[in-house]
Amino acid sequence: MSTTLLSGGVVISATGRRAADVLIDGESIAAILAPGQAASLGVVPDTTIDATDKYVVPGGVDVHTHMSLPTSGTESSDTFETGTIAAAWGGVTTIVDFATQTAGLSVHDGLAEWHEKAAGNCAIDYGFHQVIGGVDEESLKAMTYLVDNEGITSFKLFMAYPGVLYSDDGQILRAMQNASESGALIMMHAENGIAIDVLVQQAIARGDTDPRFHSTTRPVELEAEATHRAIQLAKVAGNVPLYIVHMSASEALAEVAAAQNAGLNVFAETCPQYLYLSLEDHLAQPGFDGAKFVCSTPLRTKHEHHQNDLWKGLRMNQLAVVSTDHCPFCFKDQKELGVGDFSKIPNGIGGVEHRMELIYQGVVAGELSLERWVETCSTTPARLFGLEKKGVLEPGADADVLIWDPNGTTTIGVNDKHHMNMDYSAYEGFVVDGKVDTVLSRGTVIVENDSFVGRVGHGKYIKRSLSNYLR
Ligand SMILES: [Zn+2]
C-alpha cells in the first residue's frame, strides 16, 4: 500500500487546531505527526502533498441529499454520478441520501431501487437513510430488519405532503416506538401538511399563484407546531432520538432548544439556503424567477431574525448539523412545471457543492469558529449517523481529507464554480473567501489543481452503525 504525507498544514478538528502533518497509509490515516516528525522517524512517503498555509480538515459529510429523486412529475437533476462529482468539487467525501418507500410499496424494494441507482456510480462514499412513506405492519418489520442487516439506522417521516409521503400522528408514534426498540433515529420533516394544503388551495383559488406564495402558505407557525408535536410524540415513544431536518424558522428552533433543555434527545439541522437566502431577495423576485428558490421548508422573510437565530443556534449546538437538502432541478422544463401555479413547482435547491464554502464564510463573518465549521459540516454528522470512520482525522479513520486554502477565493455561479447538473445556481455571484484546494477520498486524490481526478465507481456504500451520541 502506498503512503502519502500531507505536510506543513494546520489540522483543524472539532476540538482545536494545530500545525501537524498527516500520514496516510493506503485508505486510512496512519498518524498525525508533529511538523517534520516523519523525517526524523525515517518515514519516506511515496507521495508528499504540500499543505503549507492551508487548513487540513476531515472531508465534508452531507447527510441530506436527494439524487435522482422522482417527485412532482419529474426527477431531481443530479444523478449519483453528477451529484457525487459535484460534492467532491466542494470538499465533500460522504453523502447520505434518502432511499424512499411510498405507501403500499415494499420498503425492501425502495431500498433496492436506491442501491441500483447508486452502485458503481458514485465518486465518493455514500450511505442511505430510509424514508418510510407508508407506516404499516410490513414497513415496521422492515425498519427493524434494515437496522439489523443493512446498515440503515435512521428513518425519515413526513408530517407534510398529505397523500404523498405524509404520516398521521398514530403512524408516526408507531414508527417512533419501533425505532426506540431498535436503537434507530427518527428524522422528521416537521411542517403541518394538512393545514398547509388548505392554505395552498385558498391561495391558488384567489389567484395568488406566484412563487412567493410558496412561503406565505407555509407559515412559521406550522413549522413550529409540527416540530413541537414531533418532539412530544418522540418523548411518548420512549425519548427516541429525533432529528428535525431543514430547520428554517426561529419559532421552530425555540421548540428544539426547549426540548434539549428538558433533556430530550432532540437534534436539528439547518441548510445554507436558510442562512443566506430570503423571501424578499430570492423567492419573491418578480416574474417566475423565484421558482429557483422554491424548497420546503421555505425561505423565510429577512424582516424577522431567522438567519441570526439559525447562526446562533449553530454556535450553541441547538443546531448540530449543516446539511444541504440537495435536491436540484433545472429552471427550464423542471421548475417551469409550476408556471401559473406555485404548488406545481418541484421543491428543492441544489447545494451539495457549496456547503463547505458557504459555512466557511460564516467563519470569516465571525458567526462560527473554524472548529465549529468542521464539527457541524463533518464530525457531528458522521457521529450522529453512525459513520464510524468518517468525520475525523485520527489514526484508523478513513483518509477522507479536504485541504482548504484560506487565502483563495471562490466565485459561485454557472459560468464560475458550478458542477451540479442544473442550469442555474441558487448562489449565483456569491464570492466567498477560501477555496477547495485538494480533496482525498480514502487516501486517493479526487480533486486537485482545479480538476476532478477521481473515478466514478470509487465511492462505496457504507453500512452505518447506531448513532454514536446515544448508545
Ligand atoms: Zn430533503
375 and 412 share one domain: no
Residues 268 and 323 reside in one and the same domain: yes
Closest CA to 255 of 315, 247, 381, 238: 247
362-406 tens-digit pLDDT: 999 999 999 999 999 999 999 999 999 999 999 999 999 999 999
**Which pLDDT score, from 0 to 100, does residue 471 have?**
61
CA torsion 100-347-225-131 (nearest 10°) is: 0
Same domain as 298, residue 248: yes
Q: What cell does 271 get?
A: 441548510
Q: What is the CATH number of the domain that holds 428?
A: 2.30.40.10
| CA–centroid distance, residue 325 to ligand 1 (Å) | 5
Q: Cα(66)–Cα(237) distance, rounded to whole angstroms?
A: 28
Q: Count how many domains the chain has.
A: 2
State whether 181 and 72 are in the same domain: yes
Mean pLDDT of 80-95: 98
Structural domain contains residue 30: yes
15-70 pLDDT, tens per residue?
Answer: 999 999 999 999 999 999 999 999 999 999 999 999 999 999 999 999 999 999 99
Q: What is the C-alpha to C-alpha distance for residues 102 and 106, in angstroms, rounded to an integer?
A: 8
Question: The whole model's pTM is what?
Answer: 0.98
User: Is residue 148 one of the residues assigned to a domain?
Assistant: yes
What are 207-217's pLDDT values in tens digits? 999 999 999 99
pLDDT at 470: 76
In this model, does residue 172 exceed pLDDT 70? yes
Instruction: Please state the rounded mean pLDDT for residues 295-322.
Output: 97
CATH number at residue 173: 3.20.20.140
First vs last C-alpha separation in the chain: 34
User: Minimal CA–CA distance to 226: which of 186, 188, 271, 179?
Assistant: 188
- The answer to whether residues 401 and 308 belong to one domain is no
- Residues 87-93: what's their mean pLDDT? 98
Give the pLDDT confidence score for residue 428 in this predicted structure.
98
Q: Is residue 464 part of a domain?
A: no
Statement to judge: residues 280 and 429 lie in one domain: no
Does one domain contain both 315 and 439?
no
**Which residues are paired to 441 by β-bridges?**
444
Any domain includes 413: yes
Distance between Cα 258 and ligand 1 center (Å): 24
pLDDT digits (tens, 9 = 90+) for 414-464: 999 999 999 999 999 999 999 999 999 999 999 999 999 999 999 999 999
Ligand 1: centre distance to CA 288 (Å):
23
pLDDT digits (tens, 9 = 90+) for 228-241: 999 999 999 999 99
Neighbouring-strand partners of residue 436: 404
- 12 with 152, same domain: the answer is no
What is the distance in A from the centroid of ligand 1 to the CA of 156? 9
User: 98 CA distance to ligand 1 centroid (A)?
Assistant: 8
Domain-embedded: residue 457:
no
Are residues 11 and 138 both part of a single domain? no
| DSSP secondary structure string for all residues of 3-61 | EEEEES-EEEETTEEEE-EEEEETTEEEEEE-TTHHHHTT---SEEEE-TTSEEEEPEE
Asked if residue 210 and residue 102 are part of one domain, the reply reads yes
| Range with lowest mean pLDDT among 71-85, 153-167, 401-415, 457-471 | 457-471
Compute, in angstroms, the gap from residue 246 CA to the centroid of ligand 1.
7
Work out the pLDDT band at 469, boundaries 50, 70, 90.
confident
Report yes or no on 194 lying in a domain.
yes
Q: Share the mean pLDDT of the chain.
A: 97
Q: Cα(80) to centroid of ligand 1, in Å?
A: 15
Nearest to 376 by CA among 314, 465, 433, 307: 314
Q: Domain containing 421: what range? A: 3-57+396-452
**Ligand 1 centroid, distance to 203 Cα (angstroms):** 24
The mean pLDDT of 83-106, rounded to a whole number, is 97
CA 405 to ligand 1 center in whole angstroms:
30
Tens-digit pLDDT profile for residues 115-147: 999 999 999 999 999 999 999 999 999 999 999
The answer to the question of residue 391 being in a domain is no
Query: Whose CA is closest to 180, among 158, 150, 147, 149?
Result: 147
Q: Provide the residues around ligand 1 (an ion) whose CB is within 5 A.
A: 325
